[in-house]
Amino acid sequence: MLVTAPPPAWSAPLRFAAAPGWQTGASGTFRSIRLSDGTRVRLPWPLSAAWTATAGVRYVNGAYDDPPNETLAHLRRSEVIVYAVIQRGTGFGKTPIRLDLRRARQLPCCVGATPPYPYDWELAGPVRSRRYDLIIRVYFGSRPTRALVARAQTALERLRLPPSR
């Protein structure tokens, strides 16, 4: 992974604040990724990714792997992963994103993953400043109960968005 200085859209990489019972990881800002065959691919614009997961999750993917299929293969029923990525503003949506899981779309998770992981929720849109876009994916180890959704929402509230430049 090639890590570079943040692009003009944001002044620091994306991250989650630490909290008891959770673990975190972040990619920094990157402009290229290495594919599973070892090939390095330059991205059309820089990204910054971060994740947080309940303490029992063994997060084995890179911070920029979306979806984190290797990690999801071992996700237990009570576990949650919240993954976020920012990218240069693309006009991707007109309504600014709100960090509220009640607004999340429920998606079939992880095309090509074995076995399929059906509990994937997504929020996406421009950050209020409209200088960059934010995509959030929440992976649940089982059908989300109110308690699991509340736990994920608490984690989402620890997302630290960088200021726009």
The per-residue pLDDT for range 23-42, each reduced to its tens digit, is: 999 988 888 776 656 677 88
**Alpha-carbon distance 139 to 157, whole Å?**
16
Q: How far apart are the first and last CA of the chain?
A: 24
Neighbours of 22 (CB within 10 A): 19
| Total structural domains within the chain | 1
What mean pLDDT is reported for the chain?
83
65 occurs within a structural domain: yes
pLDDT mean over 135-147: 90
Tell me: pLDDT of 129 over 50: yes
Q: Assess if residue 31 is contained within a domain.
A: yes
| Count of Cβ atoms closer than 10 Å to residue 25 Cβ | 17
Flag whether 29 is in a domain: yes
* Percentage of residues in the chain having pLDDT higher than 90: 38
Q: Using one digit for the tens of pLDDT, what is the confidence trace for 80-95?
A: 999 999 988 776 567 8
Q: Give residue-wise pLDDT tens across range 151-164.
A: 999 999 999 998 87
| H/E stretch holding 69 | helix 69-72
In a domain, 75, yes or no: yes
| Domain-located, residue 41 | yes
In a domain, 165, yes or no: no
The single residue listed with the structure tokens 């200085």 is 5
User: In which domain, by residue range, is 59 found?
Assistant: 2-160
What whole-number distance in Å separates Cα of residue 118 and Cα of residue 108?
A: 5
Inside any domain, residue 87: yes
